[in-house]
Amino acid sequence: MKIKPYGDTSNDGKVQLSFTLPIKIGALGMEAAKQLGKQMGLIDPSVVSMEAIGENFSFYIVYGSVTHQIDLSLLKVAEITTPTFDKEAVEKLIADHFDRDLVFIGASTGTDAHTVGIDAIMNMKGYAGHYGLERYAGIKAYNLGSQVPNEVFIREAKRLHADVLLISQTVTQKDVHLKNMVELVELLEAEHMRNDVILVCGGARISHELAKELGYDAGFGPGKFAEDVASFAVLELIRKKNKTKK
Amino acid sequence: MWVLKVRMKMNKLNLDQNMIQDSRRLAKQIAIDVQKFIDQHTTVTVERTVCRLLGIDGVDSFDVPIPNLLVDDVQNNGDLSRGIALTIASALQATGKNLPDFISAYLLGTVKLCGHPYVSCDQVRQILDPYMQVTFAKIKENRDTRDAFLLAYPQPKTEIYVIVATGNIYEDIVQAKAAATAGADIIAVIRSTAQSLLDYVPYGITTEGFGGTYATQANFKLMRAALDEVSKTEKRYIKLVNYASGLCMPEIAAMAAIERLDVLLNDSMYGIIFRDINMQRTFVDQYFSRRINAYSGVVINTGEDNYLTTSDAFTQAHTVLASQFINEQFAYCAGLPSKLMGLGHAFEIDPEIENSFLYEIAQAQMCREIFPQAPLKYMPPTKHITGNIFRAYEQNALFNIATTMTDQSIHLLGMMTEAIHTPFLSDRYLAIQNAKMIKKSMKSFSDEVSYRPDGLICNRAKDVLRQAHELLEEIAQMSLFKALEQGVFADIKRSFTGGKGLTGVLEKHPDYQNPVLDYIEGVSHEN
C-alpha cells in the first residue's frame, strides 16, 4: 500500500513546515523560502506567514504538497513484540518465576543532567498516573540520578547485582548521547557483563530500532511507562532463565 | 490610592499573616543554625575567590587557573585553614615584591608562596588592601553603570527571560541579540553540561561546549559588551545571567561582579540536592557568593522550581514554599535585601489534573503575596511537555497567563521544543511573541480580579502555607542538615559527609584571615 500525507483530501500530500532564514525580511526572503520548498519536493509551496526575527533573520511558515509517496510493504521496523502487562500482572509474573527480588538500576548517564525520563520510569510516583518501578513488589529499584559516568554505573551494577540496567538520555547536543551509549556497551563487554544483564535505554529521541543498532536489548521512546519497561525486562529475564535451564 | 491598590493586590488570598510570620521565624532559626557552621569554615573555592578579588587571574602553561595553583600550593605546603590572604601577604612581605610581580616570579619558579614567616593580622590588611580596593572600585563602578542604565531605561514589571546555549560564545551573541531585539529583557547563557562539577573555572574565550557555553570571565565580558550595544539601540537595559552554582559558587560570583552580570542562579541548597555536592561545602560557598552578590547588586535566582521536576508539583508544592522561606533567611544572613532575592517557583502541575490552572494561580499568587518585594523567578512547564510542540505552545500560553495574572517578576519563557533540542532561534522568537501578546492583552487583568474567599484558589493557598509551616517546624526541630539527609526536598537524600567537594572544606584556624570577606561584611551599602 502506498501512502501520502493527508491534509483534507486523500492523497493531497499536504505538509507544513517552518524555518528561519538568515536574511532580513522581505520579498527576497519570501522567494527564497518558496524555492526552498520546491527543492524539498513540494508542489506549489505557499509561504503563508513571514516575520522578522531581529535584524538579520526572518521566519517562514510554508504549506505545500509532496510528490513523494511511501510504499508501506517495503518498510521494515523494529518493534518490541512482547506484550505490556499492568503492574499487578508484572508483580505476579515475578512472584511466579523468581524466588528473589529483581534488581533494576537506572541513571541518566554521561553528561546528561536531566532526570525527567528516568524519574518517570523509576520513582515511586511515576508519571501521568503510571506508578514507577520503586512501587513494584518484587522489584528493587535504584535510581542513581543524573550525570552518572559509565564506569560508576557499571561499578554500581556489579555491587547491587543488577538484573536490568536502564539508561536514560534526555537532552543531548551533537549526538554525544550515541557515543556515550555505545561506550557503555563496550565497557560492559570488556567486563564480561553484557550477557548477564538486560540492557534497556529510553528517552525522547530513543527508538527501539536505534537501541538495537547500538547493542541494547530494547529502547523506549515517548509515551512509554514503567509497566512497558518492566514487562519487557521481566519477560526477557524469564526467557533467559528458561534458556539456561535447557 | 497607590497604597490602597497595592494592599488590595497583595491580599487577594487572605493568607494567615501570623502563620507567615511564624514561618519566617522558623526559617530564620533554621538558617542561623547552619550559619554558625558556615562561620567556622572555609573552602578551597572561597580562598580562590579571595585571590580573584585581589586581582589574581590567568592560567599557567598547563591551563591551570592561577587561583587554583596558589590554593593547592597552600593546601599541600602551608596552612589553608588560616586563609590564603595570610600566606600571600606574608610572601609579599618576605619577598618585598608587589602582587603582580610576585605572581610572575612564582610562575617562573623563582619565589615560593609558602614557608615565609607569618605577618600580623593588621599587616595582612595593610598589605592586601590596595589590591582589593582596585577590584572593589571596579565593582562599584559596575553598580553605578547598571544604575545609570536602569534610570535611563526603567525596567518593566515583568521581565522576559530567555536562554541561549550554543556552546560557542560568538553564536550565543548572535542569538542573544536577536532575542533581545525580539523583546527579551534578560538573557541567560546556559553553562556547558557538568561545569558545575569542575573544581575550577575555565579560562578564556570558548567556542565549544556541551549543551551550553562555558562560564568564563572572558565569555562574560564579550556577552556583556554585546548586550550593552543592544540595550542602547533598544532603549531597554538587557540583563545578563549566569550560574553561580556547583563547586565554584563564589568564584563565579566574583567574576560576575567584575564583568557586570545582573542575575545569578545562586541557591543555598540546589547543588546539594541536584548536583550531589557536599552540603558543608555548598553552605559555606553559598554564603560568600551571596555576600559578593549583595555587594555587587546582583539579583540571585533560587532553584525551587527544580523540586517540581522530580517531585510531584501538586503534592509537594509546600516544599517549594518552605525552601523559599529558608533561601530568604540565608540571603538575609548574607546581607542581601529582598529586592535582590529572585526566589524561584514553577508551573509544573500535570495539566491532566482538573483545575490544575487554578492550583497554579494559587501557588503563584501566594508566592507573590508572601514575598511582595522579591523579584520572583517563575519557571515554565517542562515536566509535562510531551514533544508535541503545538500542545507545548498551549501549555506555555497558560503559563504566560498565570505569570501576568499574578504579577511575577522574572518570566522565564517556555519553549515549545522543550526536551527536543536546545532552542532554535525561531523557538525563542515564537515564545517571546506568545508572552508579549498575553502581557499586552491582559495588562490590567490582575488589578481587576479578586478570588472567592471560600473558593478553590484561596483554600489551596491556605493548605500549601499550612503544610509549609508544618514542614518548617519539622526541619527546625531536626536541623537542616538532618532534613536534607532525610530527603525532604525533591525526595532526594544527601548525607552530611557524602557528595562532591568535601575535601575542599576546612575548619577555620582561630587566626583565620579573610580581609576580603571582612570588608564586604562590614560595608553598609545602599541596596
User: Looking at the predicted structure, is the pLDDT value of residue A181 above 80?
Assistant: yes
Average pLDDT of A131-135? 89
Same domain? B266 vs B392 = yes
* CATH code of residue B293: 3.20.20.440
Please give the pLDDT value at position B259. 98
Average pLDDT of A67-91? 90
Please give the pLDDT value at position A173. 62
Is B73 among the residues known to form the active site? no
Residue B411 forms beta bridges with which residues?
A: B160, B378
Architecture of domain A87-245: 3-Layer(aba) Sandwich (3.40)
Please give the pLDDT value at position B391. 97
Please give the pLDDT value at position B1. 39
Is residue A12 within 8 angstroms of chain B, CB to CB? no
For the segment B362-399, what is each residue's pLDDT rounded down to a tens digit? Answer: 999 999 999 999 999 999 999 899 889 999 999 999 99
Examine the fold and report which residue of B406, B439, B460 is the final residue of a domain before the chain moves on: B460
A36's grid cell:
526552498
Please give the pLDDT value at position B96. 97
Is B377 among the residues known to form the active site? yes
Same domain? B316 vs B395 = yes
Please give the pLDDT value at position B524. 55
Instruction: Flag whether B414 is in a domain.
Output: yes
Please give the pLDDT value at position A174. 64
Instruction: Flag whether B139 is in a domain.
Output: no
Q: Using pLDDT thresholds of 50, 70 and 90, give the confidence band for residue A129.
A: confident
Instruction: Flag whether B516 is in a domain.
Output: no
Is residue A134 within 8 angstroms of chain B, CB to CB? no
pTM listed for this prediction: 0.86
d(CA B313, CA B302): 17
For the segment B247-293, what is each residue's pLDDT rounded down to a tens digit? Answer: 999 999 999 999 999 999 999 999 998 888 999 999 999 999 999 99
Q: What is the ipTM of this complex?
A: 0.86
Yes or no, beta carbons of B382 and A111 under 8 Å apart: no
Yes or no, beta carbons of A54 and B182 under 8 Å apart: yes
d(CA B309, CA B336): 27
Of B177, B424, B492, the CB nearest to A54: B177
Instruction: Flag whether B479 is in a domain.
Output: no
Yes or no, beta carbons of B419 and A204 under 8 Å apart: yes
d(CA B439, CA B480): 39
Is residue A58 within 8 angstroms of chain B, CB to CB? no
Same domain? B77 vs B222 = no
Residues above pLDDT 70, as percent of chain A:
97
Please give the pLDDT value at position A192. 93
Q: Using pLDDT thresholds of 50, 70 and 90, give the confidence band for residue A110.
A: confident
> Which residue from B minimizes the CA distance to A112?
B193
Instruction: Flag whether B143 is in a domain.
Output: no
Yes or no, beta carbons of B210 and A173 under 8 Å apart: yes
User: Looking at the predicted structure, is the pLDDT value of residue A104 above 80?
Assistant: yes
Same domain? B232 vs B306 = yes
d(CA B50, CA B40): 17
Instruction: Flag whether B218 is in a domain.
Output: yes
Question: What's the total number of domains in chain B?
Answer: 2
Instruction: Identify the CA nearest to B513 among candidates B68, B56, B74.
Output: B74
Of A19, A125, A128, the CB nearest to B352: A128
Examine the fold and report which residue of B133, B168, B192 is the final residue of a domain before the chain moves on: B133
More confident residue, A14 or A206: A14
Residues of chain B in contact with residue A172, where contact means CB-CB under 8 angstroms, are: 211
Same domain? B218 vs B302 = yes
Yes or no, beta carbons of A115 and B276 under 8 Å apart: no
Residues of chain A in contact with residue B430, where contact means CB-CB under 8 angstroms, are: 59
Kindly list the distances between the CA atom of residue A236 and the CA atoms of A134, A140, A196, A200, A201, in Å, as whole numbers in the listed order. Answer: 19, 17, 12, 11, 15
Domain residue ranges in chain A:
2-71, 87-245
Same domain? B180 vs B125 = no
Residues 60-89, chain A, touching B (beta carbon < 8 A): none
Residues of chain B in contact with residue A51, where contact means CB-CB under 8 angstroms, are: 429, 433
Strands (E), B404-509: 410-412, 505-507
Phi, psi of A102 (to 5 degrees): -90, 140
Examine the fold and report which residue of B70, B103, B133 is the final residue of a domain before the chain moves on: B133
Same domain? B114 vs B190 = no
Q: Which segments of chain B have a pLDDT < 50?
A: 1-8, 526-527
- Length of chain A counted residue by residue: 246
For A2-71, CATH number out of 3.30.30.60, 3.90.1280.10, 3.30.450.20, 3.40.50.300 equals 3.30.30.60
Of A51, A53, A116, the CB nearest to B309: A116
Of B178, B352, B430, the CB nearest to A57: B178
For the segment A43-52, what is each residue's pLDDT rounded down to a tens digit? Answer: 999 999 999 9
Please give the pLDDT value at position B4. 45
Yes or no, beta carbons of A176 and B382 under 8 Å apart: no
Instruction: Flag whether B19 is in a domain.
Output: no
Taking the CA of residue B99 and the nearest CA in chain A, the distance in Å comes to 39
Which burial class, exposed, middle or buried, applies to B24 when counting CB atoms under 10 A from its CB (0-12, 13-18, 19+)? Answer: middle
- Cα angle, residue A145 at apex, residues A168 and A188 outer, rounded to 5°: 55
Count Cα neighbours of B161 within 13 Å in the Cβ-side half-sphere: 28
Yes or no, beta carbons of B429 and A51 under 8 Å apart: yes
Same domain? B354 vs B417 = yes
- The catalytically annotated residue of B377, B427, B439, B451 is B377
Q: Dihedral of CA B334/B227/B164/B178: which sign? A: positive
Write the DSSP string, A187-228: HHHHTT-GGGSEEEEE-TT--HHHHHHHT-SEEE-TT--HHH
User: Looking at the predicted structure, is the pLDDT value of residue A246 above 70?
Assistant: no
Is residue A192 within 8 angstroms of chain B, CB to CB? no
Residues 137-156, chain A, touching B (beta carbon < 8 A): 145-147
Is B393 among the residues known to form the active site? no
Q: Among B197, B275, B310, B500, pick the best mutation site for testing chain A contact (most A Cβ within 10 A).
A: B310
d(CA B402, CA B396): 10
B44, B201 contact by CB (below 8 A): no
Taking the CA of residue A195 and the nearest CA in chain B, the distance in Å comes to 31
Hunting for cell 522576559 — which residue is that? B160
Taking the CA of residue B40 and the nearest CA in chain A, the distance in Å comes to 32
Instruction: Flag whether B506 is in a domain.
Output: no
Same domain? B162 vs B62 = no
Residues above pLDDT 90, as percent of chain A:
68
d(CA B126, CA B137): 17
Enclosing domain of residue B116: 41-133
Same domain? B228 vs B313 = yes
Same domain? B290 vs B323 = yes
Same domain? B196 vs B95 = no
